[in-house]
Amino acid sequence: MRTTDRLLLRPFRDEDLPDWAAMNADPEVMQYLGQPLSRAQSDRIAEGVNAQYVAEGIGFLAIERRSDGALLGAGGLQREPWYPDDMELGWRLAREYWGHGYATEAAASWLEHAFTERSLPRVISITDTPNLRSIAVMKRIGMTFDHAAELEEDGTTFEATIYSITAAAWSGLQH
């Protein structure tokens, strides 16, 4: 569990599941993440996230607004099959919480965790190339363009943009 000025980054709770499912069923939220998900699919993701957090101390944890307990979305560190040697930083927020700096705040906290507590050499972030909102978050937290790639997920190919930041570059931004 991590906290920032405005956020609590924590495992999913049962009371989160309806809002999490509603967010994952929103076609606009899922535009660059595949098809909208069913309640059962969303529940399985939350269960898997919690299990990964218990086992490894990482995962795509719930993002809660501290002022009122609202579930804003999820984000965190995870491994992706395309880049098994790198830790990937990702986020997903409900549409009504876009544009308030929450993704940037959560992502910055996870970078701090990656470099200060896990001593990772670098962290990457992957998005569909047209997802300019996610690319903007990557830039705000100090990541720089790493490369473009054609990736495949569930039989569908997509054009991806990968940003990265090294521990040394992150450390230089902290001063």
Chain mean pLDDT for the chain? 95
Give pTM, 2 decimals: 0.94
Please tell me the total count of domains within the chain. 1
pLDDT tier at 35, thresholds 50, 70, 90: confident
What is the structure's pLDDT at 95? 95
Q: What percent of the chain has pLDDT over 70?
A: 99
Cβ partners under 8 Å of residue 166, min gap 6: 121, 122
Q: In angstroms, rounded to a whole number, what is the distance separating the alpha carbons of residues 163 and 147?
A: 7
Contact of 131 with 148, CB cutoff 8 Å? no
- pLDDT at residue 50 is higher than 80: yes
CATH number, domain of 43, equals 3.40.630.30
- Asked which of 46-55, 87-96, 151-160, 161-170 is least confident by mean pLDDT, the reply is 151-160
Identify the domain containing residue 40 by its residue range: 2-173
| Band of pLDDT at residue 155, cut at 50, 70 and 90 | confident
Written in H, E and C, the secondary structure of the chain is CEECCCEEEECCCHHHHHHHHHHHCCCCCCCCCCCCCCHHHHHHHHHHHHHHHHHHCCEEEEEEECCCCCEEEEEEEECCCCCCCCEEEEEEECHHHCCCCHHHHHHHHHHHHHHHHCCCCEEEEEEECCCHHHHHHHHHCCCEEEEEEEEEECCEEEEEEEEEEEHHHHHHHCC
Say if residue 175's pLDDT is above 80: no
pLDDT at 21: 97
Is the CB of residue 99 less than 8 Å from the CB of residue 134? no
pLDDT band at 1 (very low <50, low <70, confident <90, very high): confident
* Segment 5-29, tens digit of pLDDT: 999 999 999 999 999 999 999 999 9
CA distance 114 to 55: 16
- Mean pLDDT over residues 106-121, rounded? 96
